[in-house]
Amino acid sequence: MYTREQAFRIASALMRSGEHPHPRGIESLPPAFTIALSREAGSGGLFIAREVGRRLNWPVYDDELLTELSRQLRVDVHSVEAVDERPRGWLLECLESFASRATVSEANYFRALVRIILTLGARGHCIVVGRGATCILPAETTLRVRVVAPRASRVALIARERGCDQEQAARFVDSTDLERSKFLKGHFHQDLTDPLGYDLILNSSRFSVEESSEMVIEGLRRMQARHATRESAHEHEPERRPVASASVG
């Protein structure tokens, strides 16, 4: 199982390997699949991502993305955390407030984020949590998962995790969902709640982390098998030769 430190080292090595998000010389290799997981605040999506990563022995990228972003942008990680998955107006405000500490722009932040996710997707065999990964990564080789749950259960989970009261937890859930929705709308022009943007939507209040993880892995296996079948059929497809037209005299 990959630790967070190992995941960060992989991301850093990939980013240092070159400017191109897609490695050269991989045209003949089978495509590498990735899981992009979107989640409602307090739905336990990260728990599911970690369990899937443990079972597949795949690294999971959540806060690890922020560490790599801070390295690339040459700012402290707290600066990146403050703007993570925030709408563009909020992002611009925060970046301006950091100007005295480091030179960074909204465009640089977003460009670096997209480049990291594309690079990880080109390598494959990893799980990317949030940050618009469901929009950035190619649908053909990405299982796009959305984890949801009733608001009451999400508020209860946040209250337990953060050690706060129900009112504070409710504010956190509502504001986080709103910020993530505006982030996706502002940068990708996508509705976060549109079910057509995902391949699998899980209600985590109905299934355990283990059960949810099994469904995600099953969805991945089926997607990989379908792709392999199509590729095999394409390889064995007889070559079609042009039919010569006969002239009528």
Task: Express each pLDDT in 37-87 by its tens digit.
Answer: 999 999 999 999 999 999 999 999 988 777 777 777 776 676 666 555 565
Label each residue of the chain as H, E or C. CCCHHHHHHHHHHHHHCCCCCCCCCCCCCCCCCEEEEEECCCCCHHHHHHHHHHHHCCCEECHHHHHHHHHHHCCCHHHHHHHCCCCHHHHHHHHHHCCCCCCCCHHHHHHHHHHHHHHHHHHCCCEEECCCHHHHCCHHHEEEEEEECCHHHHHHHHHHHHCCCHHHHHHHHHHHHHHHHHHHHHHHCCCCCCHHHCCEEEECCCCCHHHHHHHHHHHHHHHHHHHHHHHHHHHCCCCCCCCCCCCCC
Residue 243 resides in a domain: no
Residue 199 resides in a domain: yes
pLDDT at 243 over 80: no
Domain count, the chain: 1
Segment 239-245 mean pLDDT: 55
Residue 241 resides in a domain: no
Residue 222 is predicted with a pLDDT of 95
Residue 152 resides in a domain: yes
User: Is the pTM for the entire model greater than 0.85?
Assistant: no
Residue 213 resides in a domain: yes
Residue 230 resides in a domain: no
Q: Compute the mean pLDDT over every residue in the chain, rounded to the nearest whole number.
A: 80
Residue 121 resides in a domain: yes
Residue 39 resides in a domain: no
Residue 230 is predicted with a pLDDT of 77
The CATH number that applies at residue 131 is 3.40.50.300
Q: Nearest to residue 83, comparing CAs of 62, 102, 98, 103?
A: 98
Q: Domain range for residue 74?
A: 4-23+44-221
